Amino acid sequence: MANIITRKSVMTLFSSPTCPMSHCARFVLHEKGITADIEYYDPNDPPEDLLELNPTGTSPTLIERDLVLYDSRIIMEYLDERFPHPPLHQMDPVSRATARMVIKRIDQDWYQLLDEILYSGEKKSARAKKLLRESLLSSAPIFAARPFFMNDEFSLIDCVIGPLLWRLPSIGIDVSTPNEEITSYAQRIFKRSGFKRSLSEAEKDMVEMQK
């Protein structure tokens, strides 16, 4: 990895190759066609020069000039505002606030369970898998109602949901339904060129949802 301090004029996203939060940030980066370097690293062993700028060593970390951001959702918002075309948030304040609340709910209801599945013991993980599957299935009508999640246009909400759905087969969660509401939505997201480019090699090896 090149010395970070000498590269601060270049936008660089430091990312775990498997972290779903990092994947969300990469998805936004590629969906908007932003020119930036992506540096993969092990968050359990972050490079020392990265720790000088982000003492937590968390992934993802975005560095641009003197700006250092290390929260996935803040990074996503920054990228959308810094590069406004194409916009991934609707322009009016009410719609933007509503989208932020939806993302917050997804983080609380779904990503918290995903974290338990990935990083907790077997008993807690099994419970979290059951709860996550049930919660997703109960939302099938929302997935089916509009082309994208609660929206007719692709948005930051989809950039949050896509990486989560991508990981479901690899953790043993099947969300197929008679009308394939969730699977159909997922395939619309997975087929986007921005999503394909956002995948690390490790993520490409994850099991895809049944087509």
- State residue 128's pLDDT score: 95
- State residue 187's pLDDT score: 95
Annotated catalytic residue within 13, 19, 75, 199: 19
Class at the top of the CATH hierarchy for domain 93-192: mainly alpha
What separation, in Å, do the N-terminal and C-terminal C-alpha atoms of the chain show?
Answer: 37
CA 137 to CA 97: how far, in whole Å?
A: 25
Query: CB under 8 Å to 132, separation ≥6 — which residues?
Result: 110, 113, 114, 117, 173
Output the average pLDDT for the chain: 91
Q: Where are the domains of the chain?
A: 5-82, 93-192
Tokens describing residue 136: 């997703």
- State residue 46's pLDDT score: 87
- State residue 210's pLDDT score: 40
What pLDDT, in 10s, does the model give residues 56-100?
888 899 999 889 999 999 999 999 999 998 899 888 899 999 999
* Residue 180 pLDDT exceeds 90: yes
The CATH code belonging to domain 5-82 is: 3.40.30.10
Where does residue 183 rank: exposed (0-12), middle (13-18), buried (19+ CB within 10 A)?
buried
* Residue 8 pLDDT exceeds 60: no
The model's pTM is 0.91
Task: Give the residue-averaged pLDDT of 38-43.
Answer: 91
* Residue 209 pLDDT exceeds 50: no
Task: Give the residue-averaged pLDDT of 97-104.
Answer: 96
Where does residue 163 rank: exposed (0-12), middle (13-18), buried (19+ CB within 10 A)?
buried
- State residue 77's pLDDT score: 96
Tokens describing residue 115: 């974290």
* Residue 109 pLDDT exceeds 50: yes
- State residue 168's pLDDT score: 95
- State residue 208's pLDDT score: 53
Q: Which of the four pLDDT bands, split at 50, 70 and 90, describes residue 163? A: very high
Q: Which of the four pLDDT bands, split at 50, 70 and 90, describes residue 49? A: confident
19 carries an active-site annotation: yes
CA 79 to CA 188: how far, in whole Å?
A: 23
* Residue 4 pLDDT exceeds 70: no
What pLDDT, in 10s, does the model give residues 110-148?
999 999 999 887 888 999 999 999 999 999 999 999 999
